[in-house]
């Protein structure tokens, strides 16, 4: 991919002398950004543009052209790609729109282009985008006119599905004085997608931070693997967050784990920073350009006591700890004030202190303390203070990098001065305390995750072959596993389930009750019934043979003649009801779910997700991150539930989902979390080849 970003020659196809021709903007951008390679122009008519001859055929190009940029009507593109292949061009950027995003016919055109590209081993950027930009060598080919002056070369590279969003991000970065290395408008991602570009950018020495804007994520599992392979920060703004998991309507898990919640869990597991809007994206980039925040200990220094209080409130919300100042340091600070009416606490109110050199001294003294992890400095400047403030900001930058600690500078001044500071001084500026502290929290959390030793998921000794036979039998009979088969699969993987017996005739009920004990539960076994409790397929509190016989008759009627038996089970009492589940996400693969509430889980809607396989720490986090987890830990004198048993059950469920890609989804609901141990009471498994697929 090096030749795509660093070509020695490029052909722009679709050029004309007309002033409204968009392809001429591509050529103009190449000149504006001083592209250091050869430029060739191709159009329908001969002419001269920017002192260069317009060729009328791709065949007229020399045989060493490395990249072609196409901006012509959609129906002309397949033949042009074919001509590029014949001429030996192996990288083609298609900026034309009107393909699958526009019509079914456009989608067919795309497939034709892809077939041609594969025949000639051409790689395609787009279509329906604005191309790429490499600020380092001037290879800037969007069809929108850009100016080199405001754009500074930096270490941030941005990938975006939308050309408009990419330009918006570029403008935000320019406004924030954040330098850019490379930008890619991926468009319809016909061939190259975010995975391909990420692999390149991770190896690219000119890129230190990677930002993505995505509307779709088809290869999420690969994204996770790539993110785990690098220490470079990856920031994702994922839009288009509607629910898309209703295809497995038979499972509680599917309804509780919509696509965006899966994305959120996956990104969290792989240390990818997720932002929800442009502002937070820009703030994340700003803070990641500074040294990392290595802990929670924060010092707030403010020219305004009121703003210091606001910042302190925000710091608490974001999980920072405001350390009381060291007594010697406090005494030293106090001696600097003219009027001794303000106590130097944390936040430190600078009050009547107007000496900016002393500000620098105070900041350095704070940074010198080993226990201090970061500083928020709230500064403000009136007319006569602007010039010394510029010098102070340079000092802030020097100190932050000298002591390798982030100083989030929140600066209040007039718009003109703020714009100048952002243009002239290479240091990120925040305009509100909340933005600064949100950003510091991103840096802190990212550093913590990056430096935490990653555990490997455990592998338990299991009866995999036994489970495989049960699953294969169901596949051959073109159905999902029945209730007792699902329970059997769980048992082969060491997941405890409540003791049960299968009864296929009323006469066997007496012995089954004697074995199970009372009170007992009876459940219908039928391939036609998914949610048994919704249709009366579960009868509880059976304490006599007469009640058991009556329940058997009712359950038999429910099954429409397809009764496969009745499961008789001892009722479990004294535990807390939870749900464990899994679904196979089309992008991320197997996803695990943990929730509270048993049959009420869909009402409570409090669940946690992780992408399998998971390790012990991740399983523990799934439980502890729920607000209702306090119930499991014991409240108001109640005995705590066995959390270790639940953790192990999640780990074993993870192993099942990894071992059997045939499983589309499953519920273990409810699981009774006991004082000692945890027991699955009911289970449902759907197979990808079964009727629920």
291 and 387 co-located in one domain: yes
Secondary structure of 182-236 in HEC code, one letter for each residue: EEEECCCCCCCCHHHHHHHHHHCCCCCEEEEEECCCCCHHHHHHHHHCCCCCEEE
- How confident is residue 337, by pLDDT bands cut at 50, 70 and 90? low
For residue 280, how far is the Cα from the chain centroid? 14
List, for residues 642-681, the tens digit of each pLDDT value.
999 999 999 999 999 999 999 999 999 899 999 999 999 9
561 and 526 co-located in one domain: yes
522 and 476 co-located in one domain: yes
- The CB-side HSE value for 8 (13 A sphere, CA atoms) comes to 4
Average pLDDT, the chain: 89
Domain boundary among 570, 593, 621: 570
Residue 222 lies in a domain: no
Q: Average of pLDDT values for 66-75?
A: 97
Residue with tokens 């994305």: 263
Structural contact between residues 650 and 619, judged by C-beta atoms closer than 8 angstroms: yes
Total tally of structural domains belonging to the chain: 4
Residue 307 lies in a domain: yes
d(CA 475, CA 168): 51
Mean pLDDT lowest among 78-92, 234-248, 298-312, 439-453: 234-248
Q: Is 154 left (phi over 0), alpha (psi -120 to 50) or beta?
A: beta
pLDDT of 242 strictly over 70: no
313 and 447 co-located in one domain: yes
d(CA 498, CA 309): 56
Per-residue confidence (pLDDT) for residue 244, from 0 to 100: 45
190 and 308 co-located in one domain: no
369 and 418 co-located in one domain: yes
Residue 103 has φ and ψ, to the nearest 5°, of -160, 165
CA nearest neighbour of 217 among 189, 180, 247:
189
292 and 438 co-located in one domain: yes
306 and 439 co-located in one domain: yes
Domain boundary among 554, 570, 586: 570
pLDDT of 498 strictly over 60: yes
d(CA 211, CA 157): 6
Mean pLDDT lowest among 223-237, 579-593, 620-634, 657-671: 620-634
pLDDT of 325 strictly over 70: no
Question: What secondary structure letter does DSSP report for 528?
Answer: T
- The CB-side HSE value for 248 (13 A sphere, CA atoms) comes to 30
629 and 612 co-located in one domain: yes
Structural contact between residues 686 and 250, judged by C-beta atoms closer than 8 angstroms: yes
CATH code of 309's domain:
3.40.50.261
- How confident is residue 609, by pLDDT bands cut at 50, 70 and 90? very high
Which range of residues forms the domain containing residue 525?
464-570
Per-residue confidence (pLDDT) for residue 527, from 0 to 100: 79
- How confident is residue 191, by pLDDT bands cut at 50, 70 and 90? very high
Whole-angstrom CA distances from 52 to 14, 16, 48, 67, 476 are 14, 11, 5, 18, 68
Q: What kind and span of H or E run contains 392?
A: helix 386-403
Residue 559 lies in a domain: yes
d(CA 369, CA 611): 40
pLDDT of 295 strictly over 70: yes
CA nearest neighbour of 374 among 445, 305, 307, 306:
445
Lookup: tokens for 184: 């890619």
559 and 607 co-located in one domain: no
């Amino acid at each position: 991919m090096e030749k795509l970003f660093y070509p020695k020659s490029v052909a722009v196809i679709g050029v004309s002398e007309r002033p409204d021709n968009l392809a001429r903007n591509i050529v103009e951008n190449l000149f504006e950004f001083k592209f250091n390679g050869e430029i060739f122009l191709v159009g329908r008519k001969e002419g001269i543009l920017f002192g260069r001859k317009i060729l009328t055929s791709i065949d007229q190009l020399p045989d060493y052209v490395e990249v072609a940029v196409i901006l012509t009507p959609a129906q002309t593109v397949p033949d042009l790609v074919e001509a590029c292949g014949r001429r030996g061009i192996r990288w083609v950027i298609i900026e034309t729109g009107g393909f699958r995003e526009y019509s079914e016919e456009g989608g067919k055109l795309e497939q034709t282009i892809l077939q041609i590209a594969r025949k000639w081993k051409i790689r395609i950027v787009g279509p329906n985008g604005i191309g790429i930009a490499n600020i380092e060598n001037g290879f800037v080919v969007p069809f929108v006119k850009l100016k080199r002056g405001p754009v500074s070369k930096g270490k941030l590279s941005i990938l975006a599905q939308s050309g408009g969003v990419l330009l918006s991000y570029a403008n935000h970065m320019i406004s924030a004085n954040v330098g850019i290395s490379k930008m890619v408008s991926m468009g319809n991602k016909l061939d190259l997608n975010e995975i391909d570009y990420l692999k390149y950018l991770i190896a690219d020495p000119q890129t230190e931070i990677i930002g993505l804007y995505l509307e779709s994520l088809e290869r999420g599992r690969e994204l996770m693997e790539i993110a785990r392979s690098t220490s470079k920060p990856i920031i994702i703004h994922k839009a288009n967050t509607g629910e898309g998991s209703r295809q497995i309507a038979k499972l509680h898990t599917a309804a509780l784990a919509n696509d965006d919640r899966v994305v959120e869990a996956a990104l969290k597991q792989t240390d990818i920073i997720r932002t929800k809007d442009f502002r937070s994206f820009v703030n994340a980039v700003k803070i990641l350009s500074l040294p990392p925040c290595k802990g929670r200990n924060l010092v707030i220094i403010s020219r305004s006591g009121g703003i210091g209080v606001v910042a302190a409130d925000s710091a608490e919300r974001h999980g920072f700890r405001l350390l009381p100042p060291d007594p010697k340091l406090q005494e030293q600070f106090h001696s600097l004030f003219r009027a001794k009416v303000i106590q130097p606490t944390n936040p430190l109110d600078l009050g009547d202190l107007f000496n900016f050199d002393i500000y620098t001294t105070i900041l350095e003294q704070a940074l010198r303390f080993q226990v201090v992890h970061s500083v928020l400095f709230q500064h403000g400047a009136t007319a006569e203070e602007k010039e010394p403030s510029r010098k102070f900001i340079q000092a802030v930058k020097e100190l932050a990098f000298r002591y390798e600690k982030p100083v989030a500078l929140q600066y209040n001044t007039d718009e003109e001065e703020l714009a100048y500071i952002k243009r002239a001084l290479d240091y990120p500026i925040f305009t509100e305390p909340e933005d600064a502290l949100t950003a510091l929290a991103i840096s802190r959390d990212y550093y913590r995750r990056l430096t935490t030793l990653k555990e490997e998921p455990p592998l338990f000794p299991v009866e995999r072959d036994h489970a495989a036979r049960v699953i294969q039998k169901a596949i051959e009979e073109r159905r999902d596993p029945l209730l007792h088969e699902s329970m059997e699969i769980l048992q082969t993987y060491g997941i405890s389930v409540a003791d049960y017996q299968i009864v296929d005739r009323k006469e066997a009920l007496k012995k089954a009750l004697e074995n199970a004990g009372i009170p007992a539960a009876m459940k219908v076994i039928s391939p036609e019934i998914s949610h048994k409790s919704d249709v009366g397929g579960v009868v509880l509190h059976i304490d006599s043979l007469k009640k058991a016989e009556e329940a058997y008759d009712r359950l038999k009627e429910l099954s429409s003649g397809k009764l496969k038996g009745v499961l008789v089970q001892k009722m479990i009492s004294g535990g807390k009801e939870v749900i464990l589940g899994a679904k196979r996400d089309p992008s991320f693969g197997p996803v695990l779910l943990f929730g509270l509430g048993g049959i009420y889980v869909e009402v409570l809607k409090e669940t946690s997700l992780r992408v399998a396989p998971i390790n012990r720490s991740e399983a523990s986090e799934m439980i502890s991150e729920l607000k209702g987890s306090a119930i499991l830990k014991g409240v108001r004198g109640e005995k705590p539930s066995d959390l270790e048993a639940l953790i192990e059950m999640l780990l074993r469920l993870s192993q099942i989902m990894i071992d059997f890609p045939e499983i589309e989804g499953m519920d273990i609901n409810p699981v009774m979390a006991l004082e000692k141990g945890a027991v699955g009471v009911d289970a449902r498994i759907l197979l990808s080849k079964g009727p629920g697929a």
